[in-house]
Structure 1
């Protein structure tokens, strides 16, 4: 029987084997580290791209909000301008009628200014209209001409007509039935009284004060003449007081320039679209 004798490893061989194993392990760990680092870098780059997209979207939204805010500011400015124009026009109208009232009273002509300073009422008695008659009595013609001259003066002061739409010369009666020539009723009586006053102004005022030469802000004639019979009684007229004297009058009614319904609708639509976007 043969026995085989195993050769003992030299210490140097055992040491080399140990270092080879250690080197393999370290190489493997290094590879794993590199792979992990690459994976981490890929992940970081992906997150950085996502963050970049998110920041770009935030910037886009901020820019869109800024554009929207500027548009709403412009709409608000337009709206404020419209309101400011109306307020200024109301102020100008009140100035005109208050100045008329003051100057007419200084001439001994008593008139009535309504509560919102939009209508100046001239009693029929101040113009000398006889009952059932639309002619201004001769003794009152100079007084009627003075009213027209003062009205012309205050309207021509500065740029006041730029704020006005129409100046109405309105005839009014009480409710006592009137039967005149050609079966003319209270409608006709009130209308012809207003026309008589307008015609007197046209005949008596000098060319420089003619009222029919005045235009409104739109460039159309400023004045209009009309009659309403008893359909617009003075506020506070007792019920059944058909002969209530203040209802027999000529009104100077002034309307101011206001935004049209289309302009108001456009402003409303702009606000609605701005708030919903």
Structure 2
């Protein structure tokens, strides 16, 4: 009798030990799952923060384009905004580019300078330049073949149009408004100048008119700061290796 009781007690103790071990294993598993859920929530929050920053920057950019176009149009300088591509287009009527020319004639200089001043005012307002990555000053030509000095073609012509406007801004704007003093979040120049020849005609450009004036223009393309692939990888790595 006492032998059976001892066996029963030992079996009960063994069973209780197994149950205790399984309960501990279950608790450990639950703890691990909870930690992973917490980590995933923190990672999601970090990604959400980056998305919120981009959304905020997009709102700021939209506001800036609206303000720039409203101020210029109110001053009699007709410009258009393509909200889909975040581009402000300045037509040749505002700058006076003749076909085959990159010169801003004296009668257009004041108007061109006013455009630069409005850009400076709007971008500097509330330090909104902090939301921007680059502001591209892009020159464009019509499709009329061009053969200028030193074999300059429409690529050179479009680039020199953008350079002409940029140089005029540099010469005419006061020191506290100078666009070349603006820096982006990485500390580099905010503004960049480029040319696209006749490769990007306006949407309503008619076919068969190579010297269509609407294609002779300057586009101001505003890009916003976005998280880089390295920043996103860092968020992923920080949580995967447990440093966050």
Is this a same-fold pair by TM over 0.5?
Answer: yes
Q: Which residue of 2 aligns with 1:78?
A: 46
Q: Which residue of 2 aligns with 1:171?
A: 139
Inter-partner Cα distance in structure 1 for 2:101 and 2:159: 11
Inter-partner Cα distance in structure 1 for 2:29 and 2:206: 65
Long gaps (5+) in structure 1: 1-31
Q: Which residue of 2 aligns with 1:140?
A: 108
Aligned: 1:110 with 2:78: yes
Q: What's the secondary structure of 1:101's corresponding residue? A: helix
- Equivalent pairs counted in the alignment come to 241
Indicate if the aligned counterparts of 1:94 and 1:117 stay in contact, CA closer than 8 A: no
- Tell me by how many angstroms 1:263 deviates: 3.2
Inter-partner Cα distance in structure 2 for 1:68 and 1:157: 43
- Tell me by how many angstroms 1:81 deviates: 1.0
Q: Which residue of 2 aligns with 1:185?
A: 153
1:254 to 222, 225, 230: 222
- Tell me by how many angstroms 1:240 deviates: 4.2
Give the 4+ runs in structure 1 shifted more than 6 A. 268-271
Indicate if the aligned counterparts of 1:202 and 1:211 stay in contact, CA closer than 8 A: yes
Indicate if the aligned counterparts of 1:171 and 1:229 stay in contact, CA closer than 8 A: yes
Long gaps (5+) in structure 2: none
- Tell me by how many angstroms 1:245 deviates: 2.8
Inter-partner Cα distance in structure 2 for 1:236 and 1:263: 40
Indicate if the aligned counterparts of 2:137 and 2:220 stay in contact, CA closer than 8 A: yes
- Tell me by how many angstroms 1:270 deviates: 8.0
1:155 to 103, 107, 123: 123
Give 1 or 2 for the bigger CA radius of gyration. 1
Aligned: 1:49 with 2:26: no
Q: What's the secondary structure of 2:125's corresponding residue? A: coil
Inter-partner Cα distance in structure 2 for 1:62 and 1:270: 22
- Tell me by how many angstroms 1:214 deviates: 0.3
Q: Which residue of 1 aligns with 2:96?
A: 128
RCO higher in 1 or 2 (8 Å CA, sep ≥ 6)? 2
Inter-partner Cα distance in structure 2 for 1:217 and 1:263: 14
TM superposition score normalised by structure 2: 0.92
- Tell me by how many angstroms 1:244 deviates: 3.3
- Tell me by how many angstroms 1:236 deviates: 4.6
Inter-partner Cα distance in structure 2 for 1:207 and 1:270: 44
User: RMSD across aligned C-alpha pairs, in angstroms?
Assistant: 1.9
